[in-house]
Amino acid sequence: AAMTEQVSYSGPQRIFSGIQPTGNLHLGNYLGALKKFADLQDAGWEGIYCVVDLHAITMPQPKGALADQTRQIAAAMMAAGLDPDTSTIFVQSSVRAHTELTWIFNCVARMGWLEKMTQFKDKSGKDAERASVGLFDYPVLQAADILVYKATHVPVGEDQKQHLELSRNVAARFNQQYDVPGFFPLPEGLIEGPGARIMSLKDGTKKMSKSDPAETSRINLIDDTDTIAKKIKKAKTDTLGDMPETVEEMAPRPEVANLVGIYAALAGMSDEQVLAEYGGKGFGTFKPALAELAVEKLSPITQKMRQLLDDPAEIDAAMAKGAEKANAVAEPIIEEVRRVVGFWQV
């Protein structure tokens, strides 16, 4: 369980979240993260959103691909509705305080905490000895991302739950070790909601993922209308008959539950509401409706992304401004940390 504290943080509430510039964004990234970012911005939250290129190099990237991939994620954030004037959108490597705080946190986090991380086990596979040290240390960098802004809330998909708990443990231990109660907030996840865990279209027990070799397992944000419709039509269901009438009936049907969840997340409805409309109907009715809804919601974003990428000057200007704004928040905090740790003051 995460550590708790006697003295709690009393600074302002602030959101931080990040997305890796590796491969294409998919529907899971959209519903678990991007859509939430835009909704939170529109609800008035102060938010800092980051393209995490330092995280991306924990795995080898194709030569010369990093900057283009970074621009794509920035475009997706803007196309999904993040406004670079209202929110802060920037590229991680342009704010050097992330790496400095990571080193300090490396000396706060414990080996045993990192050894428990399931994502490292998954990504390093059978040959963990040959994984980069960076891949092992990845969650510490993630803690530094959040805490270098003293962010209090972190919207992410469910797969990031364990990393967030590590961030809380790092914050609590730093506060305790340096005897500065309430210095860092213990950041909370904003995870709930129907989009938190979107599954593969080919296997309802596996999450939709960039790294799945089967292209038909996911809907990419850049897929065209026909491709989206085809992938939904071919999505796996089961042989248990028509659409379930209730959430209980749906429970043993993971593929169907995933499609209903996607519909609910896209439409801003609950699973119950979707079943009230489609329960008892055939997939020949439900799947085309889902495809139409997905195209309706995603195509304006895809179009906007393409438009931004055609003339990247707007993206690049937004990232430059974002880096300035992010640095302005992070610099005083890293200075405070340097004093707390007791480094030599020049």
Q: Which stretch binds ligand TYM (CB under 6 A): 157-165, 233-241, 315-323, 328-336?
A: 157-165
The residue among 339, 335, 265 whose CA lies nearest residue 97 is 335
Q: Residue 133 has which token pair?
A: 């040290």
The residue whose Cβ lies closest to ligand TYM is 32
CB nearer ligand TYM, residue 17 or residue 93: 17
The verdict on 58 binding ligand TYM (CB under 6 A) reads no
Among 14, 32, 168, 193, binds ligand TYM (CB under 6 A): 32
In the complex, the smallest distance separating the C-beta of residue 319 from ligand TYM, rounded to whole angstroms, is: 17
Q: How many angstroms separate the most distant Cα atoms in the chain?
A: 72
Count the Cβ atoms, other than its own, within 10 Å of residue 311.
Answer: 9
CB nearer ligand TYM, residue 77 or residue 243: 77
In the complex, the smallest distance separating the C-beta of residue 25 from ligand TYM, rounded to whole angstroms, is: 8
In the complex, the smallest distance separating the C-beta of residue 274 from ligand TYM, rounded to whole angstroms, is: 18
In the complex, the smallest distance separating the C-beta of residue 83 from ligand TYM, rounded to whole angstroms, is: 19
**Residues 12-31, mask of contacts with ligand TYM (x by CB under 6 A):** ----xxxxx-------xx-x
Give the active site residues. 123, 207, 210
* Dist. CA 64–CA 344, nearest whole Å: 38
Site size toward ligand TYM, by CB under 6 A: 27
CB nearer ligand TYM, residue 262 or residue 279: 262
Task: Return the residues of window 242-271 that contact ligand TYM according to CB under 6 A.
Answer: none
Task: Return the residues of window 160-189 that contact ligand TYM according to CB under 6 A.
Answer: 160, 163
Q: What are residue 244's phi and psi, to 5 degrees?
A: -65, 155
CB nearer ligand TYM, residue 50 or residue 315: 50
Task: Return the residues of window 202-221 that contact ligand TYM according to CB under 6 A.
Answer: 207-208
CB nearer ligand TYM, residue 162 or residue 237: 162
In the complex, the smallest distance separating the C-beta of residue 31 from ligand TYM, rounded to whole angstroms, is: 6
* Dist. CA 107–CA 27, nearest whole Å: 37
Residues that bind ligand TYM (CB under 6 A): 16-20, 28-29, 31-33, 52, 55, 142, 145-146, 154, 156-157, 159-160, 163, 195-198, 207-208
